[in-house]
Chain A
């Protein structure tokens, strides 16, 4: 299947314009969600979540994946006027597992869609998310933390299409690449004519900890509206020498410093998991896999 397509292509030779995991989704099991829910998903079949927040309503959906092979999740989000949808994806896939997440959503007037992705798992990750900010003052916020390991792929794509006036997008990804890891992160803030007063911000922080890594980043800002403000900031590198020196002077060696940073990258997302049982499970997962 073809996914994670950039809304505007870059140089073809960089092989970044889209991803093509060797998988074709089968018949998906559809789950309709209109109330806050927790889903532990480890079945072999693909799944489609249809999440709708009615006007003035807030719902949170927590999905904990444990892919043994390939799990394909399609999520369709509809945030009606002044509503809020929070979708939290937590990947606890096993070594040979592969999670393919495909999120599409629409945000109406004064609504918000919040996507939180915790990807510390042992398998491959393909994650595609496009949100249409059609309503005035609608808001899309995305926060992702990932750890990519040897021989594993993490391939991410986030697109915010600003259509309504005074819309806002915040797209943030933080990650760590260990030995032999391969990661691609695409982020797009797209200001479409008519989206006056809108703002969009993208950031990406990547800690490069291993040899033979491949880190690809493509942060796009597309604009056909004058009255907007868009920013992007990226910082890619290894542990800062000054920080290491500071930590070492307090008895914390490089290895422990790396662990601290990795844990901090994920722990900052825990506050978005406001379901206690899921939060506990996630904490347990992080303790287990972030060794």
Chain B
């Protein structure tokens, strides 16, 4: 085996900058009924929401930690502030956003992306949205894209009440309950029947505060025959204490509709990313997930799709890249209920520098899901022998008419391929980076161009200095 050298730290200055935010309003650390009620008051919750928060807190306190997955012992809720608000109100033009915050999102390229290629943008800074806007022509189609807090009191209040935390009930797991108790921020999207939104909407979540949590809630309803691509981005500066992200995404995809949900997750490496995403898919509808996980110290992330309607389909394309001090436990779940449903998962995971990467999945094909299909393909790449890469897929099939295929492989970069590229004048570092980019291509080609470029840049950053 060849010796390798490792660069201790990687330049993440694109994401790793922070603001002092001395004027921010911050609730004290910890999780108590008093804190939950204070959040509810700050957010001017309707009564049902306040009651839901309290119920969630009770469930959180009674629920055990998961017995599987990476250790989250380093996360101490007594040292997490669940609500931090910049001293500003949400704006619908960037000029009204405080300079420091605007500068943050400028550095992340959000306003520029909005001008070039997005139908609407929501930007959350710590616990609250600071910017939310939708293009006029898209709004004219009847598309609603707003913050959840506003939607709780507007025309869509009943719709929010009808759907909020019904797909991800607080009893689902401990951090779903935590989310229900302290959620703040996030977006509500409603796409009316038959409306096809040609260019994506994007929400970007930035957690700036040290030792804080972000608990945004994203609720999207794509009505019959409608079509939407929603992009979610997230990042944070690195601190020497734990930060927490326990967001929740609930997606309702109605008959013959299509929703694509793309995420490039690039939290800082002190982040505990305990996020929950779930989609309910009706007859003939299609759910597409594209997921890139690059950041976080610990990640538990398994977008779940419930294929309720006959002939509904789901595709999950994911990549994770675990480097030093990272344990990324990611994958997907699907529950197939309708007849002739189909699911396809295609994932890539890369481990390097002592990082741990786990692909974890579950496929449940219930008795009612006659003539349903499922196919899983997962590949893992180990870039050294101080890292770890695990594949933990599970299948539970309950109808004889199901057709299920599963393939997994794990291996290293071929020395022959590196040698070939070097013989063509490439440095070893570039050769290995190119091979890894090629390995990730199945995922990057699913992303809009600018995000594919971002993903390739991230891979290059992570690969930098990985040889010797």
The residues of A with any CB-CB pair to B shorter than 8 Å are 8-12, 14, 16-17, 177, 191, 193, 196, 208-238
Contact = CB atoms under 8 A, between A and B. Distances in A.
Given A9-B68, A14-B362, A222-B390, A215 B408 contact: no
Interface string B398-422: 1111111111111110000000000
B404 A234 contact: yes
Given A9-B67, A10-B360, A215 B397 contact: yes
B286 to A, nearest CB: 23
Contact of A219 (B383, B398, B408): B408
Contact of A231 (B333, B384, B408): B408
Nearest to B408: A232
Contact of A228 (B358, B395, B410): B410
A226 B384 contact: yes
Nearest to A220: B392
B203 interface: no
B397 A230 contact: no
B14 interface: no
Given A219-B393, A230-B409, A236 B360 contact: no
B159 interface: no
Contacts of B395: 215-218, 234, 236
A16 B358 CA distance: 18
Contacts of B396: 14, 16, 214-216
Given A223-B410, A227-B412, A236 B68 contact: no
Interface centre among B67, B387, B411 (most CB of A within 10 A): B411
Nearest to B405: A235
A41 B85 CA distance: 72
B82 interface: no
Main DSSP-derived SS at the B contact region: strand
Interface residues of B, number: 42
B10 interface: no
Nearest to A214: B398
Given A10-B362, A226-B382, A218 B394 contact: yes
Interface centre among B358, B382, B395 (most CB of A within 10 A): B395
A11 B302 CA distance: 11
B86 interface: no
Contact of A11 (B68, B403, B409, B411): B68
Nearest to A207: B400
A193 B388 CA distance: 9
Contact of B404 (A8, A177, A230, A235): A235
- List the 10 closest pairs (A to B, CB-CB), nearest first: A9-B68, A208-B400, A234-B406, A236-B404, A232-B408, A230-B410, A237-B403, A226-B382, A215-B397, A226-B385
Interface string B63-77: 000111100000000
A59 B389 CA distance: 36
Interface centre among B1, B387, B394, B407 (most CB of A within 10 A): B394
B391 interface: yes
A229 B407 contact: no
B260 interface: no
B367 interface: yes
A227 B4 CA distance: 13
Contact of A221 (B385, B400, B405, B410): B410
Given A226-B382, A226-B383, A228-B412, A11 B404 contact: no
A233 B391 contact: no
A208 to B, nearest CB: 4
Contacts of A208: 397, 399-402
25 contacts: A10-B360, A11-B394, A12-B68, A16-B394, A177-B400, A208-B400, A211-B400, A212-B367, A213-B399, A213-B400, A215-B397, A215-B398, A216-B396, A219-B391, A221-B380, A222-B388, A223-B380, A223-B382, A226-B385, A228-B411, A229-B411, A230-B408, A232-B391, A234-B405, A238-B402
A230 B400 contact: no
A217 B406 CA distance: 10
Interface centre among A212, A225, A235 (most CB of B within 10 A): A225
Contact of A216 (B66, B367, B394, B400): B394
A9 B300 CA distance: 14
